[in-house]
Chains A and B, each alone.
Chain A
């Protein structure tokens, strides 16, 4: 059952990701990305990351992706124009590079990761909000606080770059 769920959503994620890559219209890509995120949320659940699965859906797929869609709409971005690609490097080297990259990483994982440790749904139970919250406000209190600076910067950035007059 676990395996089927994994295979199902993994396939879904990969298909959505491929769709993201092959679609020329940014809106289609954005929707595909949301698909990927949703599939991943399921996989997170399988791995026992309940809180993350929720955040993935609510914050990531919800809030962040809405921002993307909003900007796409705002800019009225249409489909990519079919034009000759000018990035020589990307055009020539792109596919072999990527294939090589994936093969390399996959090979490393296949040969080096233990094959015995199976993912069993429900065997890992510390992924709930309570555990996360405790960790965040004890061991990880500093990064947590520092991320607030990050958010502040993001706000300032948006203000600086988007407002009318300085």
Chain B
């Protein structure tokens, strides 16, 4: 079915724009960039319709990549229902965001470069989801990381942008470290890296009680996933990644790339099911991330940072779903999240566009009238994320919370509290931006329709996306969702969301003094939260600085230059020293020389006469 065309067309688009972009007009660049993604989307649709119900995976093998001994990895693509969902989300949302970006980036320099990178990202993301083995997945995995790096650092004249890009890449590398180690173990254990083979063999394994090989594999995969999907402890790069242009934040850091970790864990579900300890680890990491990010999100003032922490928090939700065994719920949340979070970011982008680059919510306010469409679509996204029924977020979040309750009630309760906080800070952002009086000196204007169009589409999806039967569709791949439909529990979580919205309304519309006084009252805690629990600083102080200083002052200066080179040069120096002593023997005096001769003669005679032979 020519699966390879799906990623390759964006790649071709990327290459065209990269090589010739400087000489092309914006229209042509747009046509190439958007066209190629759109083509991919259409090709996905065509492929999927051609493949029918997809009960079994459809695999296409192209050519051998690495072949050594028993290791044989090929460039293989496969489509099953999980991939199909991901493909649709990636190409669909991707197309919308490309269109949006054409408007958003219209006045930026490096236009061609931006679209080239964006297309390249599509290539790698599609490779990631299409890969039929871990190594091809890894290609996409690293590739999206690269594009993320390039796009975060798009404004590379700004040091912070460069720093953020580098940070993203390196933190991801730490995750990849785990991922690659997991691959080595998988190959060692199963003799193959093909998903089909591995999952087939994994199903035959017993469930592990302690930390066995499979658990180790899963924990390492989890490490990889925490990097890519910004989970504790490797989430730190994502908020910084907001240095990139907003469409990038929407596409890469909200809708698609960051969910790669979720996809990968879901893809390895057969393995995880054999490793309950690892499952617990996934769930707990998800929960901790969800709560922590939500708390930090409460106190952020940069609109994109709020949504970034929200993304981290929502990703935590997805991990929670995976950890409690509700894989399809997790993927379901990936889908709905893609809609509403992309919308939130794009809407925020529209706001920022309207305010000519202003991102601090304290300088916004009162935009409701000036940018009504943006307001409307953002509101749609907000109710979706807040879990207000019957919008999309409600359905997916509900599925997750119920599954969590089935696993352990306390997880459910933590999830509910987080849901409340989510509703609070999202609406806080809405209220601070659109309500009240304008606090900035700008002359806001509504965005052009090339930007608003995609927003509207996404808004529709955010509202109605919950009715797409994703979990049911995924059953053949990820198994059914076991959820008792407990109305009380559903109601509780909905109420939590509504309480969050209500408090937010109280604090930021009715009585704007309250947050300030709360902040004063809780001084220390507030500072802690406002500064994101000083996690970055903690990493700097405990890991980065010691490594940098240690490398400079200990390894380079002391070990390399001092000890090793010192020894080498010392040997040289010592040799010259010996030479200095030896040449002193040549005093220049004939009689001394004669004394040497006599001494030598004496020794030689004595030795030969008395000492005898050595043998």
- Residues of A at the B interface (CB closer than 8 Å) are 86-90, 93-94, 97-98, 100-101, 104-105, 108
B82 CB, nearest partner CB in chain A, Å: 92
Which residues on A sit within 8 Å (CB–CB) of B595? 87, 89-90, 93-94, 97
> Do A87 and B592 touch across chains, with their CB atoms under 8 A apart?
yes
B547 contacts partner chain A, Cβ-Cβ < 8 Å? no
> Do A97 and B602 touch across chains, with their CB atoms under 8 A apart?
yes
Distance, CA A100 to CA B604, complexed state (A): 13
> Do A89 and B587 touch across chains, with their CB atoms under 8 A apart?
yes
Which residues on B sit within 8 Å (CB–CB) of A98? 598
Q: A89's contact among B591, B602, B606, B609, by CB below 8 Å, is which?
A: B591
B589 contacts partner chain A, Cβ-Cβ < 8 Å? yes
User: Which B residues between 243 and 264 are near A, CB-CB below 8 angstroms?
Assistant: none
Further pairs besides A87-B587, A90-B594, A93-B595: 15, Cβ < 8 Å = A86-B589, A87-B589, A87-B590, A87-B591, A87-B595, A88-B587, A89-B587, A89-B589, A89-B592, A90-B589, A93-B598, A93-B599, A97-B595, A97-B599, A98-B598
Distance, CA A46 to CA B468, complexed state (A): 136
B449 contacts partner chain A, Cβ-Cβ < 8 Å? no
Distance, CA A86 to CA B587, complexed state (A): 9
> Do B596 and A104 touch across chains, with their CB atoms under 8 A apart?
no
Distance, CA A93 to CA B598, complexed state (A): 10
Q: Are A100 and B602 CB-contacts (below 8 A) given A89-B596, A108-B609?
A: yes
Q: Mark B44-55, 1 if CB is under 8 A from A, else 0.
A: 000000000000
> Closest residue to B605 on the A side, CB-wise?
A104
B601 contacts partner chain A, Cβ-Cβ < 8 Å? yes
> Do B592 and A90 touch across chains, with their CB atoms under 8 A apart?
yes
Shortest Cβ-Cβ A-B pairs, 3 listed: A89-B592, A90-B591, A87-B589
Which residues on A sit within 8 Å (CB–CB) of B609? 104, 108
Distance, CA A105 to CA B602, complexed state (A): 9
Distance, CA A112 to CA B59, complexed state (A): 100
Distance, CA A87 to CA B601, complexed state (A): 19
Distance, CA A90 to CA B597, complexed state (A): 11
Distance, CA A108 to CA B605, complexed state (A): 10
Q: Mark B573-604, 1 if CB is under 8 A from A, else 0.
A: 00000000000000101111111101101100
> Do B602 and A104 touch across chains, with their CB atoms under 8 A apart?
yes
Which residues on A sit within 8 Å (CB–CB) of B587? 86-89
Which residues on A sit within 8 Å (CB–CB) of B599? 93, 97
Distance, CA A90 to CA B590, complexed state (A): 9
> Do B602 and A101 touch across chains, with their CB atoms under 8 A apart?
yes
A87 CB, nearest partner CB in chain B, Å: 4
